[in-house]
Amino acid sequence: MRLEPIANPGLARSAGLPAAAIALTVVVASLLALLAGADPLATLGLILKGAAGSKFALLETLNRATPLIFTGLAVAVAFRAKLWNIGAEAQLYAGALLTVLVGTQLGLPGPVALPLMALAAILAGALTLLGPVLLKTRLGVDEVVTTLLLNFIMLLFISMLLEGPLKDPLGMGWPKSEALPRDARLPRIVDGLRLHWGFGLALICALGTWVIQTRTTLGYEIRATGLNLQGARFAGIPVNAVMVKTALISGGLAALAGFSEVAGLKGNLTLDISPGFGYTGIIVAMLAMLNPLGVVVSAIFVAGIFVGADSMSRAAEVPTYIADILLATALLFMVLAIMLTRFRVVRG
Amino acid sequence: MGEGRQAQEVVLRLDGITKRFGALTANDGIGFSLAKGEVLALLGENGAGKTTLMNILFGHYTADEGRVEVFGRPLPPGQPGAALAAGVGMVHQHFTLADNMTVLENILLGTEPLWKLGLGRGAARARVERLSHDFGLAVHPDAKVGSLSVGERQRVEILKALYRDARILILDEPTAVLTPQEAEALFATLRKALAQGLSVIFISHKLHEVMAIAHRVVVLRHGRLVGEVATADTDRHRLAEMMVGAEIAAPAPREAVPGPALLSLRGVSTAGEGNSPGLRALDLDLRAGQITGLAGVSGNGQGALAELLSGLVAPISGEMRVADRPVARWTPREALAARIGRIPEDRHRTGTIADFTLTENAVLESYRDEPFARTGLMDWTAARGHAERIIQRYDVRCPGPETRIRLLSGGNMQKLILGRALEAEPRIILANQPVRGLDIGAVTYVQERLIAARDEGAAVLLISEDLDEILALSDVIRVISDGRLSPEFPRGSKTPAELGQWMAGQGFDHAA
């Protein structure tokens, strides 16, 4: 058996296979529900209802999608250049840290503070990824290892700060920072509901990333570098500089997830602002085939599964772990579908 | 030598092998047989179907029709292990050895079960040493493969095949990477193998070698078997005609009118890399309106010189002047700015980005310049127009500019690269193996374009391992050996044999 590239996959292939992937995911989910002793159709219905069944549910899904759009974009940008940034989690926390520092320590009025907090966060995230990428371009150190390990270093560093200098004196001993002042928070899009303007910022970033990738010389350089490093270098593309620029953009985007979560939702810095958004961003980006606009769709899809599964588990006797399994199977089937749209399997 | 062997035992028989890839018929009813103790040459241009045929023999492809018999027994199709088990061993053009392991480990790898690697070494070593003695394949079993010369690595590959009890050896372009002396040693080994009853298939397009070593020749062209002759009954000229299907008409360039040197190297050295030597105190002038041909055995510094002119490496010592100005910073961008048009050796990995469209590949070297980009924004309409212009002017056969370039044939890919380089109106042209692997039509086209560029005043450096190509196109010839350059030989001043001596490294000592 071997793979033969397909020159022009027809509509049946390029639309049918992803649809089949989703259908297969639903089948696996149904089997799991059966295994847990619940009615599969009812379980799926509950997930769907919990994710999009009401205005509240839908806004909650978009809310959860917001950080995933940022981390998904961060991963999509980096992976295009074959820069394997597994450290979006660390960059997210670096962004969250600077958001809180600028927001609580400088005593600036809100309209000045918010943009400054965002800029500081972007800078912090970009610098967090700068180290690994310089080690990669200068010394050939594998960035998968360095970015992954930085996640743990960053968490421990934040933990140290929250137990020490940044600890909220009024926090009853909990490891959390002082809260941002009211006017240094992102306003809500709809009054009374939790969805905040971080979501709007995420959409703008997705559009901006798409423009960079498809319309600018930098995007062209990033794609060339990722597809063929040797060819790009021969053509005069400064591949190391491109890597560094890619890293700055990627780290900045991931950091905005931290900014948006702190300034839009939580109001202060704790060690649980991210339940692995940085890692889930990899799934989001892969499902979107690294397309920035696709990232928005896949982030909402992934967030919907999480929010829906949470809500379902409150109503039925099926554990929320089903969300993780659903995501994993959706990813595997989707990757397979993507491969089969580009290649056909032939015998001999 | 051929007639006495006809009656002998047939060890390998191919019968009516046909293999189609879509519209292309790579092998069309090919059949021949190999006798015990015989050397059969498989002759054909790149793309004639030699590789496909060997892939069918080794079970990597399944033939649409036809059958393979080894020692009278049919070979099950599509099973990569079957040919090996039946006693057929192949030495590939590109070696398949692990650099960080020893010779002995490489020979055992894939032969012995992994958990036995540590055990039973004594017996294995004795066997390797005996084989190496019997066949004149001198190589130390404990040497790391990474430290071996190319010729020694080839010996390891042959030993590996012999260790697996190969009775039929297939050698794919075995002399492409060897000096004439190493090639002579290889032939001595082959003669010993024949004396021990082995049979050999020798894949090559070098006619003089085929005449020297083979008993019979099978010629493939466009997937068909077009001739089968005993070497005793033919000569090089007739083989060449059979191979390309017509009288070979090399473009006949008119006399050059050389101008001033556009690029000069004085005592330039570069760092070597792995097994490829760097340049050693090179002096070179590339003059306007002149084609300088660089002859040499593969891996003697051609790559280093090409990388230098491409801007990929900078000199570590000596002076490099372009258009009479000394070069300080030297990168591919500077090389392009100095108007060096570059046709790289590897069009798939260096010259193009396979998953980019023709449009994207057409502006690969100029995407930052107007009209393709303004203030960092790409103008894809202008880029597409440029691609269409190249497609039209350079006869690139393709479905359209938005096709991914990986779907094009090698010849059309090369025409796009050529067009991309020439449309920038280069003053200096680096053409590194510009026609390797192309069909004869594309070869003539590329060569004529290079001559036309010369006539318009470009300084051309033509790097080729094919001495006939160098002799046909060059106004002056330099020979490279171990990173050093011979003096400049004007067209017609040296015979191929004399150049061959320089290629083997003779003459350099008193010249240096």
pLDDT of residue A203: 97
pLDDT of residue A7: 65
Instruction: For residue B334, give the chain A residue with the closest CA.
Output: A236
pLDDT of residue B5: 45
Give the tens place of pLDDT for each residue, A190-202: 777 788 999 999 9
Cross-chain residue pair A5–B406, CB shorter than 8 Å: yes
Residues of A in contact with B61 (CB under 8 A): 348
B78–A contact, CB cutoff 8 A: yes
pLDDT of residue B97: 86
- Which DSSP category does A184 fall into? G
pLDDT of residue B148: 80
Give the tens place of pLDDT for each residue, A236-277: 999 999 999 999 999 999 999 999 999 999 999 999 999 999
Gap from A346 CA to chain B (nearest CA, Å): 11
Instruction: For residue A226, give the chain B residue with the closest CA.
Output: B353
Cross-chain residue pair A217–B377, CB shorter than 8 Å: yes
Residue A32, in any domain of the structure: no
Q: How confident is the model at residue A1 (pLDDT cuts 50, 70, 90)?
A: low
B130–A contact, CB cutoff 8 A: no
Distance CA B385, CA B359 (A): 8
Residue A37 clears pLDDT 60, i.e. is over it: yes
pLDDT of residue B242: 79
Within a 13 Å sphere around the CA of B374, how many CA atoms are in the beta-carbon half? 5
Residue A319, in any domain of the structure: no
The angle at the Cα of B233, spanning B228 to B238, to the nearest 5 degrees, equals 70
Cross-chain residue pair B352–A231, CB shorter than 8 Å: yes
Q: How confident is the model at residue B1 (pLDDT cuts 50, 70, 90)?
A: very low
- pLDDT over 90, % of chain B: 39
Cross-chain residue pair B351–A227, CB shorter than 8 Å: no
Q: How confident is the model at residue B292 (pLDDT cuts 50, 70, 90)?
A: very high
| Domains held by chain A: number | 1
- pLDDT over 70, % of chain A: 98
B407–A contact, CB cutoff 8 A: yes
Cross-chain residue pair A216–B310, CB shorter than 8 Å: no
Give the tens place of pLDDT for each residue, A139-179: 999 999 999 999 999 999 999 999 988 888 877 778 888 89
Residue A278, in any domain of the structure: yes
Which one of B20, B27, B345, B353 makes the best mutation probe of the A interface by having the most chain A beta carbons within 10 Å? Answer: B353
Gap from B260 CA to chain A (nearest CA, Å): 27
The angle at the Cα of B87, spanning B85 to B89, to the nearest 5 degrees, equals 100
Question: Which run of H or of E encompasses A269?
Answer: none
ipTM score for this prediction = 0.86
Q: Are strands B73-74 and B88-91 parallel, antiparallel or unpaired?
A: unpaired
| Most confident region among B100-114, B136-150, B182-196, B352-366 by mean pLDDT | B352-366
Q: How confident is the model at residue B482 (pLDDT cuts 50, 70, 90)?
A: confident
Residue A269, in any domain of the structure: yes
CATH tag, B3-244: 3.40.50.300
Cross-chain residue pair B333–A236, CB shorter than 8 Å: yes
Region A44-55 average pLDDT: 88
Residues of A in contact with B311 (CB under 8 A): 236
Residues of A in contact with B77 (CB under 8 A): 348
Q: Which domain holds residue A202?
A: 66-288
Give the tens place of pLDDT for each residue, A104-134: 988 888 788 999 999 999 999 999 999 999 9
* Residue ranges matching CATH 3.40.50.300 in chain B: 3-244, 249-339+426-512
Q: How confident is the model at residue B285 (pLDDT cuts 50, 70, 90)?
A: very high
Question: Within the 366-405 window of chain B, which residues sit less than 8 Å (CB to CB) from chain A?
Answer: 367-368, 373, 376-378
pLDDT of residue B18: 92
Which one of A8, A217, A239, A343 makes the best mutation probe of the B interface by having the most chain B beta carbons within 10 Å? Answer: A217
pLDDT of residue B7: 52
Residue B149 clears pLDDT 80, i.e. is over it: no
Q: Are strands B476-481 and B290-295 parallel, antiparallel or unpaired?
A: parallel
Q: How confident is the model at residue B116 (pLDDT cuts 50, 70, 90)?
A: low
- Does the structural domain B249-339+426-512 have CATH classification 3.40.50.1100? no
Residue A166, in any domain of the structure: yes
Burial of B183: CB neighbours in 10 Å, binned 0-12, 13-18, 19+: buried
Residue A217, in any domain of the structure: yes
Gap from A212 CA to chain B (nearest CA, Å): 9
Region B53-62 average pLDDT: 85
Residue A164, in any domain of the structure: yes
Q: Looking up tokens 């490829």, which residue turns up?
A: B276
What interhelical angle do A55-80 and A277-287 show, nearest 10? 80
pLDDT of residue B23: 65
b/e map A278-309, b = 16+ CB within 10 Å: bbbbbbbbbbbebbbebbbbbbbbbbbbbbbb
Residues of A in contact with B356 (CB under 8 A): 223-224, 227
Alpha-carbon dihedral sign for residues B261, B267, B271, B272: positive
Q: Average pLDDT of chain B? A: 86
Cβ contact B423:B389 at 8 Å: yes
Query: At B124, phi and psi to the nearest 5?
Result: -60, -45
Q: How confident is the model at residue B118 (pLDDT cuts 50, 70, 90)?
A: low
Residues of B in contact with A210 (CB under 8 A): none
pLDDT of residue A18: 82
